[in-house]
Each structure stands twice: as C-alpha cells, then as structure tokens.
C-alpha cells in the first residue's frame, strides 16, 4: 500500500498532462489513455488507470428447478495500474494491484496477495522488447486480452481450465515485419505463479507466435474483444502457444492450491491455437486448448488431486450495433482424457450476452445467461444448470 501511495505522490509532483480529453455530448468526458503524468517527456512518464467490476450472479439449482442454488453480489475486480518509462523512453515499467478476494489467489496463499504485475522492460529496438519480473505469460489470446476488455461478463470455461496466468521470470517480444507483422514471444519463468518462490529446479518455458496476415488492427484491436473500432477492411490475427512446466507444484501449473506433500510435483504441457477476426462491427474469436500430463489423478496426503488432462474449444461471435449495443453468442466445450474422468467431468456451456458500451470497455454494462451442463460417461453422470450474470464496469 505504501508503494502505491509513494508512486502517486511522485507523479503528482511532476507536470500533469491530461493528454487528449474528449467530449461526448455536453456532459461525458474521458481520458483516452488514463491520467498521464509527465516530467520532461524523455525523462519520466506515467499512465495511471483504475477500474472496478461490480457483479451480480444467480445460479439455478438445476436445469429444471430454477430456484436459486446461489445468489451473490460482489466486487469482482478492483484494480490500480501504473505504467510508463523512467529516465529513458526505452526503460519501461508496469505495476498492477488488485483489492478483491477473488483477485488475491487466496485459496493458495491465505493472505491478501495484491500484487499482480511488477515488471521492468528494456526496448532493445522498435521491434524487440525484453521484460523481467512478474506479469502475464504469453498464453492464449483470451487470457492476454485484459479482463476489462471482454465482450462477455467474464472469460470462458476454457480459459478457467487451461490458462497459464501470471508468473515470475524473463520474457522477450520480437516483431518481424510491420505491415503484416509476425510476432515471436518467449518466456522462461518459475512455473509456480505470482508472488511465489521456486522450491525446486523445475522451470516453465512458454512460447507464443502471432501473425496478422491482413495487416494491423485499428487501435491494437487484436487485444480487445468486440469490434469497437469498426474495422473498414477485414482483419485477422492467428496465434499458437506451447508451454512446458517442469516439476509444477500446483494442478494448474501457475494456478491452484499448492501440494501439501513435500517434493510432490508433475510435468505439464499445454498447447493453444487461437484466432480473432473483425470487420465492420462483426467479431469472431476462437480458441483450442490441450493439456497433457502423465498421471492426472493422484493423492496428496488425504486429498485427491486432479490435473485436467484433456482438451477445450471456445468460439464466440458478436455484432456491434450503431448505438454501441452488442449482442454476442458463445459456445465452450472441455472434455477430459479417459484417465482423467475418475476425478473430472466433460462440460459444455452455451452463453448469450448483451453489452452496452458507454465509453468503450472503460464504462460499460454487460449481462449474460449461460446454460451449463456436465457429463461423465464413465460414471453415467449428467447435470445441467442456468447461470445469470449482470455487471457494471467503470474505469479510466
């Protein structure tokens, strides 16, 4: 907390630049790039942002009994973010802090883990940047797109099951070409998630490649959902990821509860393929995931551990109307390998959403309804459920 206030105090002593303040109608104003604090442009620059997501969730008892199994009002996310450069435009930094239980990783740490990003970068050239510290790994597209830039209330079940999340280590991003760029993103990290120390000699190795065969998106639109920039020509981005996490001590690699048994670990391999397409208000995003491990179900003391060894598919489409209301549809499927079905189920989710973008993704109201079903052919199990969510997001 002292670090946050220290950063704010430092930036307040510099020249404050509101940058470009845009006006919509007579009353609504917004800062395009957050609050920008600047002292001699080549010496110091900081973009300050915050955002809050307030959410209501209603879950039915089953597919036929719509009486509530769970009802919940929550502040899903409340975050502060600071990024810019120091002393030299090539020396970059990013900090991000979270303040809600859902963001704390509390199930593992059992303390409020507020730090999400703490990473320093050096811009080696216009096409190459080296990063060191804690931040997102270059994983699947749905994960590297901010949770504040989604066209549904939250990310899909595929992402919740397979994503690589954040880790501590070094990353390098390199771009080949400008008009139709090809990106190579590599990372070597602890493999144990954020705010943790590596307890063994295993590390995680992640690589992501991206190609934009139809040219660059407006406003980096391949890194936010919905075609808010209303692309005037078709735009497509293709991506693929491979991750090897050696001696992982949590069932999701960087995610999940730490194993209690000393020395217990597992090797994980995760593959992703994804695409995003936009044109004149229409958007389509699709992802495929596959995770492999040699022994997905085992005992950790008295507790059974399940690593979801299996596959997943997510596809979603949306169309942005002229009044900035967007209807969207999503289908998600995950299916486990047979040796995982002892402790995990196949799942399908069908989701319809409606979003009203007041100031892009910074201020918006979103609602979605999902029919979720679980199946286990080994155990002859089937269960269905309805989930309704309503969310207000506000930020700069």
What element of type H or E holds 158? helix 157-162
| Dist. CA 128–CA 50, nearest whole Å | 28
Q: What is the pLDDT of residue 213?
A: 98
Kindly report the average pLDDT of the chain as a whole number.
89
Find the DSSP H helices in the chain. 2-12, 106-109, 141-144, 157-162
Q: What is the pLDDT of residue 31?
A: 62
Q: What is the pLDDT of residue 132?
A: 97
21-35 tens-digit pLDDT:
443 333 333 467 788
Confidence of residue 19 (pLDDT cuts 50, 70, 90): very low
What element of type H or E holds 20? none
Domain at 2-395, CATH homologous superfamily: Porin (2.40.160.10)
Tell me: pLDDT of 376 over 70: yes
Q: Which of 384, 320, 387, 321 is nearest to 352 (CA)?
A: 387
Q: Which of 386, 311, 385, 295 is nearest to 343 (CA)?
A: 295
Q: What is the pLDDT of residue 41?
A: 66
CB 51 within 8 A of CB 79: yes
CB 267 within 8 A of CB 246: yes
Q: What is the pLDDT of residue 105?
A: 77
Q: What is the pLDDT of residue 197?
A: 77
Find the DSSP H helices in 272-361. none
Torsion of CA 87, 90, 165, 230, to 10 degrees: 120
Q: What is the pLDDT of residue 108?
A: 67
CB 103 within 8 A of CB 121: no
Find the DSSP H helices in 13-72. none
Tell me: pLDDT of 20 over 80: no
137-177 tens-digit pLDDT:
999 999 999 999 999 999 999 999 999 999 999 999 999 99
Q: What is the pLDDT of residue 1?
A: 45
User: Distance between alpha carbon 306 and the CA centroid of its chain, in Å?
Assistant: 23
228-283 tens-digit pLDDT:
999 999 999 999 999 999 999 999 999 988 898 988 999 999 999 999 999 999 99
Residue ranges of domains in the chain = 2-395
% helix, strand, coil for the chain, step of 5: 10, 55, 35
225-239 tens-digit pLDDT:
999 999 999 999 999
């Amino acid at each position: 907390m002292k670090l946050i206030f220290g950063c704010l105090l430092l930036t307040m002593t510099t020249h404050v630049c509101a940058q470009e303040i845009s006006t919509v109608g007579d009353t609504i104003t917004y800062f395009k790039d957050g609050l920008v604090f600047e002292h001699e442009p080549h010496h110091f620059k900081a973009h300050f942002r915050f955002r809050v997501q307030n959410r209501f969730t209603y879950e039915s008892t089953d597919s036929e009994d719509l009486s509530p199994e769970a009802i919940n009002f929550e502040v899903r996310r409340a975050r502060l973010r600071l990024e810019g450069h120091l002393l030299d435009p090539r020396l970059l930094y990013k900090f991000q802090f979270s303040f809600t239980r859902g963001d704390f990783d509390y199930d593992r740490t059992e303390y409020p883990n507020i730090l999400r990003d703490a990473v320093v970068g050096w811009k080696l050239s216009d096409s190459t940047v080296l990063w060191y510290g804690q931040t997102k790994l270059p994983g699947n597209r749905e994960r590297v797109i901010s949770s504040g830039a989604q066209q549904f209330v939250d990310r899909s079940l595929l992402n919740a099951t397979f994503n690589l999340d954040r880790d501590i280590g070094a990353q390098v991003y390199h771009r080949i070409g400008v008009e139709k760029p090809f990106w190579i993103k590599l990372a070597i990290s602890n493999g144990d998630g954020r705010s943790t120390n590596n307890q063994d000699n295993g590390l995680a190795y992640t690589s992501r490649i991206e190609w934009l065969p139809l040219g660059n998106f407006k406003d980096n639109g391949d890194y936010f959902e919905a075609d808010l920039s209303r692309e005037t020509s078709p735009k497509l981005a293709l991506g693929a990821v491979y991750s090897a996490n050696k001696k992982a001590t949590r069932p999701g690699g960087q995610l999940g509860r730490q194993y209690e048994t000393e020395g217990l670990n597992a090797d994980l391999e995760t593959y992703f393929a994804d695409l995003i397409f936009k044109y004149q208000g229409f958007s389509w995003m699709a992802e495929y995931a596959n995770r492999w491990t040699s022994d997905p179900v085992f005992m950790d003391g008295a507790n059974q551990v399940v690593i979801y060894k299996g596959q997943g598919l997510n596809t979603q489409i949306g169309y942005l109307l002229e009044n900035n209301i967007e209807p969207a549809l999503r289908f998600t499927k995950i299916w486990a390998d047979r040796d995982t079905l002892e402790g995990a189920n196949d799942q399908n989710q069908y989701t319809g959403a409606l979003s009203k973008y007041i100031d892009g993704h910074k201020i918006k109201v979103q609602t979605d309804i999902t029919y979720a079903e679980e199946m286990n052919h080994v155990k002859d199990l089937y269960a269905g459920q309805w989930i309704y969510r309503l969310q207000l997001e506000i930020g700069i």
